[in-house]
């Protein structure tokens, strides 16, 4: 999907989020963009560098970590290993819905933002925004969700129509 078509599908908060990404386009396209699907047991990520998809995956917390503190510490350490090589990061994080999202999701998003490299800017991506890019047969997973969050950024950074 091209940027113009995607933007035409957006209204309200989604449109404002798109405008924010586009405002950073000149520097984002030269930097690293990291998308995060936060979770306290598994955290999905997807990475693009200089406008090109590089990799995706997830940090799966071992079952031995039952309490939230050690789980978040584990996620932080693992994401730090993954993100440290990048020195200029624009982070796209799935927006945690305050009324329906568990507080642990908010904490996990905060841990991700505080991880690795040099985070220049953080932009929350509403769930409904990235779901506009999903096909009808979309199969949800931490990795697939992070890839869709990243796709929002890449579509909006692509000025080729």
pLDDT of residue 101: 63
- Residue 73 pLDDT > 80: yes
- Tens digit of each residue's pLDDT (9 = 90 or more) over 12-57: 999 999 999 999 999 999 999 999 999 999 999 999 999 999 999 9
Question: Bigger pLDDT: 100 or 110?
Answer: 110
Query: CA-to-CA distance for 66 and 87, rounded, in angstroms?
Result: 33
Query: CA-to-CA distance for 54 and 44, rounded, in angstroms?
Result: 14
What mean pLDDT, rounded, does the chain reach?
A: 91
**Which of 79, 50, 23, 46 lies closest to 151, judged by CA?**
46
| Stated pTM of the model | 0.92
pLDDT of residue 108: 93
Query: CA-to-CA distance for 81 and 85, rounded, in angstroms?
Result: 8
Q: Distance from CA of residue 143 to its chain's centroid?
A: 10
Q: Are 56 and 140 in contact (CB under 8 A)?
A: no
- Tens digit of each residue's pLDDT (9 = 90 or more) over 135-144: 999 999 999 9
Mean pLDDT of 128-155: 94
In terms of CATH architecture, what is 3-157? 2-Layer Sandwich (3.30)
On the 0-12 / 13-18 / 19+ scale of CB atoms within 10 A, 87 is: exposed
- Residue 160 pLDDT > 70: no
């Amino acid at each position: 999907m091209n940027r113009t078509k995607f933007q035409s599908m957006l209204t309200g908060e989604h449109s404002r989020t798109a405008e924010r990404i586009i405002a950073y386009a000149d520097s984002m396209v030269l930097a690293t963009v990291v998308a995060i699907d936060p979770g306290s047991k598994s955290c999905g990520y997807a990475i693009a560098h200089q406008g090109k998809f590089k990799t995706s995956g997830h940090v799966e917390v071992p079952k031995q970590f039952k309490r939230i503190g050690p789980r978040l510490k584990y996620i932080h350490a693992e994401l730090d290993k993954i993100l440290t090589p990048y020195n200029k990061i624009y982070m796209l994080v799935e927006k945690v819905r305050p009324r329906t999202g568990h507080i642990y999701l908010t904490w996990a998003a905060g841990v991700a933002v505080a991880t690795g490299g040099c985070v220049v800017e953080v932009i929350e991506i509403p769930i409904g925004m990235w779901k506009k890019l999903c096909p009808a047969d979309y199969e949800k997973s931490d990795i697939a969700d992070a890839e869709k969050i990243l796709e929002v950024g890449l579509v909006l950074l692509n000025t080729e129509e």
